[in-house]
Structure 1
Amino acid sequence: MSDAQPDSEPYEPVPAPDYQGHLPAGRPRWKSRLLRLLAWGGAAAVVATVALFAGYLYLAREVPTFDTVKDYRPLVSSHVIARDGTVVGEFFKERRTVVPMEKIPRVLLQAVISAEDKDFYQHPGVNPVALVRAAIVDTLSGRKRLGASTITQQVVKNFFLSSEKRWQRKLKEILLSARLERNLSKDDILFLYLNQINFGRARYGVEEASLYYFNKHVWEIDLGEAAILAGLPQNPSRINPRRHADRAKRRQIYVLDRMLANGYITRAEHDSEVEKPIVLPPVPPEPPGAFYLDEVRRQLVAQYGEAAVDGSGMTIEIAMDPKLQAAAETALRDGLRAVDRRQGYRGPRARLGAGQVEAARSALSQKLGQQALGGDEVSVVDLDGIPENDAAKPDSLARGARVRALQEDETYIALVTAADAREAKVWLAPDVTASVPFSTMQWARKFSPEKSTPLPRGANEVLAPGDLAEIRVLRLATTRDGPDHVRPTRLEVALEQDPLVEGAFVGIDLKTRQVVALVGGYDQTLATFNRATQARRQPGSAIKPFIYAAALESGRYTPTTRVDDSPEVIVDPWTGKPWKPQNFEKDEFAGPIPLRRALAESKNTVAVKLLVALGLDKLRTEAAEAGVTSDIPQSFTAALGTGEAGVLEMVNGYTTLATWGQKADPILIRRVVSRDGVTTQAAKLDPVQSMRADVAYLTADLMRSVIEDPEGTAHSLSALGRPAAGKTGTTSEHRDGWFIGFTPTLVAGAWVGFDDHRMMGSYETGGHCAGPIWLSWMRAATAGTDLEPWPQP
């Protein structure tokens, strides 16, 4: 064996530590620990890399693709277009109108980038510097203080991801942001962002936001308005300029500061906008037709489904004429208020306890100071909707109160502070008070539909301090006396109350069968039940024209045939019970009279005798041929309208008479077009000659006497000054009042009654409660049109 030494030192094992745990002299301890740490770290890095790559592959499969902006198919509002071409409504889950990038002004793009993501055009979808900065600040503060999401990430979150706060979601967000940046241009991503995000008040996208806040299209906004919109996505409800003008102004200034720093605007432009107060136009009034649109939507949902109606971007062309619809809503509301006032005053909504008026004013003033609307509007407190048991608690009263803009023809619940014989004083805000003259409350007798009660002799018999009373603003003029303050210079109000009695109205264009107006109640915000299409009520004597049509068709009767108007006991063949029909004027009978007079004066005895002679099947057939298919009871009381029918159904039945026997379905929806321009539905008028033309013509001619005859039940409606025909309807105990009538061009009908079928009062006949509604609408509908002669078949 050679004595030569090897080229390298032989391996020597590391000595074991001594009993105290110390290593013997040799390699330093820290080096050994470092080696072990590096070894374990390297292994962990490999495992982590493999795990991350596997997680990436797994999550990448779950991340949706978005290869082109053409893939963008957001929930889009379906727009409803009226007969005159105006937009009168939208059906939506998210109220959105998509606008192309070329219509979005450059100043808005600059404002949004400055507010949300100044490096948008430089980063690859995620801003690493911002992420690290936000993480450090959030860690040090113990809560989330800085946002680090880029516009690309916000698009991803809005489109594809849930709101869960888990690491998987964040990783998906980063992956999809990178994918989106690879597949789309920066302008495409910005286009998606500006059309997708929420701007508050159910407005999604810049176009709907611009229309709501500024009453103009997005391409028409200026620098200051662009800065307001750009600041909203941070917290749309908290900085809504219509509700929180001070917060909105601070946010606008922040956006303007960033635009200046980024070089998008000059110092002069910046300072000019900073100095301006935020002044917004009043919220445009809602177009007429809430009940009409509700029925249209109901029909569409039945055919296409709710998701398609509310999110597919349909264009729905309807038959409603906005002017005639508005006239119908006004006529019905005025008519119902007139009926309601004849029934008396139900008293204030609530009443404060003794000594609570000043405390209430103080609490309400404080709320108003916190939520004043600003702009060009007078802010007042409306106490509508406050539970009666909270009325005596000033704090509860303030919590339940709403801050609203004071506007003409709007109603408010105001606090009564004083009352004497001449007037009552009401409080709406610290600097907004009004006098309610006794002349506006002389109708306010104690509520009693069934019988008369004494009229009040002074305002203090109607109202007292502490009352929460409903008032209507009759006239209003304002002036601005400061940059953020507007006050009324003229304010006239009247005592008001929302009617309990309800009603419905339908108007149909005679030539096209299109429903030009439909109202289902006093106020759709108070009750969504559509009485024009969903209710079934007894038509009373409004059913009689179909009995007379059956008599004329039988060949046994003519308009001059006399039938005895006399009392007679009828034995009901189905029940065997005797029954003695009565006229409206009890114990008044005219003897033998011609059919024309019998219908004009609505003689019950004659209608029953005709039905007995003809048989119930004849009435059912004649009504069905006109389009009235609701059940007719198996009883001769059917001659007095004891069955039930819908308002639209009855008016359409009269339209068949007015078109000389041509039956057709009423048209509400004229056409439906998809967002891609494909017509999916188109109404077609396809009338059927279901009644003999001569019978329908003679029946309509008899109905003219209802209006033209001085003794006719609707003679007061001859004030229209045009050829017209129609029929009143009043049911037993005055629970329903009807009038349906037509001119040579239009058919319309009104119904009035309580939802719970209570009595309206012995004076509320169809001619008295429903007739004036018809007359008011017909006057508005025919104003400025030529006087057309009565047509002949």
Structure 2
Amino acid sequence: MNDKKFLKNQQPQRPQRHNPAGKPSPKRWKRILLYSFLGVTLLGLIVGFGAAGFIYFKYSKGLPDVRQLRDYQPSTISRVYSENDELIAEFYIEKRVLAPLEDIPLHLKQATLAIEDSNFYYHFGIDPKAIVRAMITNFQAGHVVEGGSTITQQLSKTLFLSFERSLERKIREAILAIRMELVFTKEDILEMYLNQIYYGHGSYGVEAAARTYFGKPVKDLSIAECALISGLPKAPNHYSPYKDLEKSIGRRNHAIRRMAHLGFITEQEKEQALAEEVKLGQVMDPINKAPYFVEYIRQFIQEKYGSSKLYRDGLKIYTTLNYANQVSAQKAVREGLREADKRFGYRGPLQRVSDFSDREALDTLLAKLNAESETTVEASEEQPVVEGNIVHGLVTRVTQDEAKVYLGGMQGTIPLENMDWAREPNTRLDIRWSKIQNARHALAVGDVIMVKLGQKQNTTQWNLSLEQEPEVQAGLISLDPTTGHIKAMVGGYDFKKSQFNRATQAIRQPGSAFKPIIFAAAIEDGYTPASIVIDSPIIFKEKEDTFDKWKPVNFSEKFYGPTSLRTALTHSRNVVTIKLLQHTGVPKAVEVSQRLGIQSPMANNLSIALGSSGVTLYELVRAYAVFANQGQRIEPIPIRMILDRDGEMIYTPNIEKKQVISSGLAAIITDLMRSVVDHGTGRKVKVLNRPIAAKTGTTNNYIDAWFMGYSPELVTGVWVGKDRDETMGVNETGSRAAIPIWLQFMEEALQGRAVKDFPVSDEVVYMKVNPETGYAANYDNPKAQLEMFLRDNLPMKAGELEAILGKDNF
């Protein structure tokens, strides 16, 4: 017997168990249970996979292809820039500035993961553990207090799905999340999330959020600031520090503690962050530093490219606007209108207050009124109240010589001389009004009024002057005549209260501001600046079948006899202008006006000589620019170029230049309008000490006031009037109402520029003439004056016309 068989025979034998009933042994029970478990498990897996497959195929139908996110282009801000590339406006539906992941602080990424999805780098789009934990927490609380969605799920919901609460949406969200995890890296998903999620107050993405809440770029945020921003997406309105600072700080501190718990920051960093004071920026409206011009730009781009491209595609719009000029224009219009409005009288307080006991309510009222009105001078955090600003106040005491005003935490005094304009309003043209002699005639205790801050007496006391919001409106446009570039545009007193652009949309009678066009037509038709027209009474029968008659008169209601064209335009003689139009014909004048850029329909009658046919300020500035640009018309250009979000140029202006009148004719009209400044109705602007050509305009009953003027560098037009065709008051002429605005703007716009003269056309010559006859004169004639003429239309010498026509005709 070998050793192996021996050892085997020596092994102890297991005793046989007694099983009298033939029942299965314990070993067999184990097998049965094991096979049963495996069977049930297998069946469960089959059913589970089947159900999962059914759910997947059912709810994945119609889901978008997540691969399209490879070209992820979220809605971003379109920005508008000045000619010097200063940011002047923004257009957006979602305020978003894209920030690459590498530019986002590590602490902001960590804070987001800590409070939103700490297992982000370890799950495949959905986090079963988080789902179970949320279910238990919500069950214990009896309502939803915690979500189980991962960052990937939140992103898929934001990008592709609605925000409805339903099982179907959650399933579709999970499917999309898994798909995204298969296609994109974790870094890609985190970058998209941090640029896509809503953080409140119109801000999408962390860059916009950083600027909204802290007024600085995201890269400059502290740990505490990162934690505050990371806590907003859960409920931006609920946790906004502007709305509930206490709740916002609580949410921030939760994020800080989670960061420390996960080892993202040290205990020392945690304590410092928890103790950090919240220093908020200021919720800003969309940037818009030139509202009427920006609206003009918006309408152009929206018409050309549509709203979606404008508000979502992150365009860069480079304009021709000179921001310094625009600031000057806005200031000149506001100050000019306030000054003009005071000549019309005081319309009374904004409202009355009888109970002074509740100071908190008074402060709230004044703060609300101040927030709704535009300031004159920009304030700052260091200087919230600035000299020159217009604020609201409550009259608390009035004597004969002054009024005391409560300004909400401050006091002020209005001396009589700073409110003596405040007579009762009256627009009667036959009465001249004097200043008030008693402060009680204007103000009473309890009046809520507007005041301008003057010199500060001490920390809480101000010198004040009484103000009111003007009823009269204005428009201003300034452009470079050689390029057509629009440098400034103002369409009214306050864009917040009226978006109607009176510079481009208001069709108003131009009055005498239209006369240079009539004179241009006449000179083109053979007249010269020295031509003599008799300024004498004339009567026109307007209609053949009626007895209606029109007897035009000059503004002075006098007639001046033989008058040269230069004298007639210098002093804005109505009768001479009408006779010129009568000779050249209305069709000729209309045709010339159209060449110059007037597109509004013109009336077919002689009254257009006096500017009776309505035009826009924009059209009139375009026409005057032809005179300033040697007869070339260039369509006004507001935009230099537009770039798309990738920096590709999608628009440049089509510059249209056209010689519409001769350079000689343009030079003569310019020279005639220089006489308006030197000797006529535009004398006030001589203080510029520059070559200026200009013309005033005033319509019947002082309804419209104009001043159109230009230097070689800038053509600027100003219109002043009420939106309704109502009189502005006695003597509110172009010289009185419009020139101050024009002059204030041009003084600042031309400051520092070298003095330039108008170019001289080679189509003109200078000759001496007898101003009384218009004939050429000898140089030794003491009455002779130099005059400008077209080379092919020189004045005759005395006796030449008699020789041509014969003595019998004289």
* TM norm. shorter chain > 0.5: yes
Partner of 1:413: 392
Residue matched to 1:529: 500
Structure 1 equivalent of residue 572 of structure 2: 602
| Aligned partners of 1:383 and 1:414 also within 8 Å | no
Letter of the 2:523 counterpart: L
1:593-633 residue CA offsets vs partner (Å, 9 max, x unmatched): 21111111111111111111111111111111111121111
SS in 1 for 2:500: coil
Give the letter aligned to residue 418 of structure 2.
Answer: T
State the SS of the aligned residue for 2:642.
strand
1:732 aligned to 2:700?
A: yes
- Show the counterpart of 1:321: 322
Q: Distance in 2 between matches of 1:362 and 1:95?
A: 35
CA-to-partner distance for each residue in 1:570-597, whole Å, 9 max, x for gaps?
A: 2336776421112222x22222121111
Query: Post-superposition shift, 1:637?
Result: 0.8
* Offset, 1:121: 2.4
Q: Which residue of 1 aligns with 2:216?
A: 216
Contact 2:670/2:693, CA 8 A, preserved across alignment: yes
1:26 aligned partner: none
Q: Taking structure 1 as reference, are residues 570 and 135 closer, same or farther at Cα in structure 2, changes over 3 Å only? A: same
Question: What's the secondary structure of 1:62's corresponding residue?
Answer: coil
What is the CA–CA distance in structure 2 between the aligned matches of 1:493 and 1:614, rounded to whole Å? 57
Structure-2 separation of matches of 1:196 and 1:109: 14
Alpha-carbon distance change, 449 to 106 in structure 1, aligned in 2, over 3 angstroms: farther
Q: 2: distance between equivalents of 1:477 and 1:141?
A: 61
Q: Is the 8 A contact 1:514 1:667 kept in 2?
A: yes
Partner of 1:791: 759
Counterpart-to-counterpart distance in 2, 1:209 and 1:248: 14
Q: TM-score, normalised by structure 2?
A: 0.82
CA shift for structure 1 position 152: 1.8
Give TM-score, length-normalised by structure 1: 0.84
- Alpha-carbon offset, residue 422 of structure 1: 4.4
Matched, 1:651 2:631: no
- Cα distance, 1:244 vs structure 2: 4.7
Q: 1:420 to 1:244 in 2, by over 3 A?
A: farther
How far the C-alpha of 1:224 sits from its partner, in A, is 3.6
Residue identity in the other structure for 1:669:
I
Q: Distance in 2 between matches of 1:472 and 1:778?
A: 25
- Shift of the 580–679 alpha-carbon distance from structure 1 to 2, 3 Å rule, reads same
Letter in 2 for 1:193: Y
| Aligned residues of 1:348 and 1:468 also touching (Cα < 8 A) | yes
> RMSD over aligned Cα, in angstroms?
3.0
User: What residue in structure 1 maps to residue 301 of structure 2?
Assistant: 300
Q: Secondary structure at the match of 1:738?
A: strand
| Aligned residue identity for 2:357 | E
Mapped pair 1:447 → 2:418: no
**What pairs up with 1:246-395 in 2 under 5 angstroms?**
246-281=246-281, 286-352=287-353, 354=354, 356-359=355-358, 361-363=359-361, 381-383=367-369
Question: Is it true that 1:754 corresponds to 2:746 in the alignment?
Answer: no
**Max radius of gyration: which structure?**
2
- In structure 2, the residue matched to 1:625 is 595
Alignment match, 1:15: none
Do residues 641 (structure 1) and 611 (structure 2) align?
A: yes
The answer to whether the Cα contact below 8 Å between 1:104 and 1:218 also exists between their aligned partners in 2 is yes
Amino acid at match of 2:756: E
Instruction: Give the letter aligned to residue 791 of structure 1.
Output: P
Whole-angstrom distance in 1 between the partners of 2:432 and 2:136: 78
Opposite residue 443 of structure 1, the aligned amino acid is W
Separation in 2 of the partners of 1:180 and 1:473?
A: 60
- The 1:575–1:300 alpha-carbon spacing in structure 2 relative to 1, beyond 3 Å, is farther
Residue in structure 2 matched with residue 766 of structure 1 by the alignment: 734
Cα offset, 1:220, TM superposition: 2.8
1:707 to 671, 677, 680: 677
1:556-635 alignment, distance < 5 Å: 557-572=527-542, 577-585=548-556, 587-635=557-605
Deviations 1:135-176 (A, max 9, x none): 333344443322333222221222111122222111111111
CA distance 1:467–1:640, change in 2 (3 Å)? same
Pick closer, same or farther for the CA change 1:252–1:686 going to 2, 3 Å.
same
Structure 2 vs 1, CA of residues 170 and 295 (structure 1 numbering), >3 Å: closer, same or farther? same
Counterpart code for 1:195 = N
> CA 1:437 to 1:224, structure 2 compared with 1: closer, same or farther past 3 Å?
farther
The Cα shift of 1:653 comes to 0.8
Separation of aligned partners in 2, 1:183 and 1:674? 28
Q: Which amino acid aligns with 1:190?
A: L
Q: CA deviation at 1:48?
A: 8.0
What is the aligned partner in structure 1 of residue 449 from structure 2? 469
Q: Does 1:73 align with 2:63?
A: no
Q: Quick check: 1:350–1:467 contact (8 Å CA) kept in 2?
A: yes
Question: CA 1:46 to 1:184, structure 2 compared with 1: closer, same or farther past 3 Å?
Answer: closer
Q: Where in structure 2 are the equivalents of 1:53-68 lying within 5 Å?
A: 53-67=53-67
CA contact (8 A) 1:381 1:428 kept: no
Change (3 A) 1:560 1:337: same
**Which is further off, 488-497 or 63-72?**
488-497
Letter in structure 2 aligned against 1:781: A
**Long gaps (5+) in structure 2:** 1-20, 24-38, 373-382, 762-810
Rounded Cα–Cα distance in structure 1 between residues aligned with 2:532 and 2:678: 20
Equivalent residue, structure 1, for 2:119: 119
Distance 1:738 1:189, change over 3 A: same
What letter corresponds to residue 501 of structure 2 in structure 1? N
Is 1:720 aligned with 2:718? no
CA distance in 1, matches of 2:77, 2:371: 31
Contact 2:427 2:728 in 1 (8 A): yes
Render the CA deviation track for 1:325-376: whole Å, top value 9, x for unaligned: 1111111111111111111221111113x4x2224x34456x69xxxxxxxx
Aligned AA for 1:445? R
Q: Deviations over 1:96-145 (max 9, x none)?
A: 22121122122222232233333322333233333333333334444332
Q: CA deviation at 1:47?
A: 7.5
SS at match of 2:749: helix
State whether residues 574 and 635 of structure 1, in contact with CA within 8 Å, keep that contact through their aligned partners in structure 2.
no
Aligned residue for 1:104?
Answer: 104
- Rounded to whole Å, the distance in 2 between the matches of 1:152 and 1:341 is 63
* Most deviating of 215-224 and 617-626: 215-224
Of 484, 509, 513, the match for 2:484: 513
Residue 663 (1) aligns with residue 633 (2): yes
Deviations 1:539-596 (A, max 9, x none): 11111100000111111x11111222222112336776421112222x2222212111
Q: Which consecutive residues of structure 1, in runs of 5 or more, have no partner in the other structure?
A: 1-6, 10-38, 369-379, 387-404, 479-487
* 1:676 match: 646
User: Residue type matched to 1:661 in 2?
Assistant: G
Deviations 1:264-283 (A, max 9, x none): 33333333344343234567
Match of 1:330, SS? helix
Deviates more, 1:772-781 or 1:112-121: 112-121
**Matched letter for residue 675 of structure 2:** S
* TM-aligned CA distance change 1:720 to 1:241, over 3 Å: farther
Rounded to whole Å, the distance in 2 between the matches of 1:246 and 1:175 is 38
Greater alpha carbon shift after TM alignment, 546-555 vs 267-276: 267-276
Cα distance, 1:764 vs. partner? 0.9
Is residue 2:167 matched to residue 1:152? no
Structure 1 residue 185 and structure 2 residue 185: aligned? yes
> Residue 351 and residue 550 in structure 1: after superposition, are their counterparts in 2 closer, same or farther (change >3 A)?
same
**Native 8 Å contact 1:383 1:468 kept in 2:** no
Q: Counterparts of 1:87 and 1:591 in 2: how far apart (Å)?
A: 57
Shift of 1:229: 2.4
Pair 1:236-2:236 in alignment: yes
Kept after mapping to 2: 8 A contact 1:656/1:662: yes
What is the distance in 2 between the residues matched to 1:180 and 1:476? Answer: 63
**C-alpha distance in 2, partners of 1:173/1:426?**
61
Aligned mates of 2:240, 2:209 — CA distance in 1 = 11
Tell whether the 8 Å contact from 1:419 to 1:465 is kept in structure 2 after alignment. yes
Q: Distance in 2 between matches of 1:281 and 1:424?
A: 37
Aligned to 1:35: none
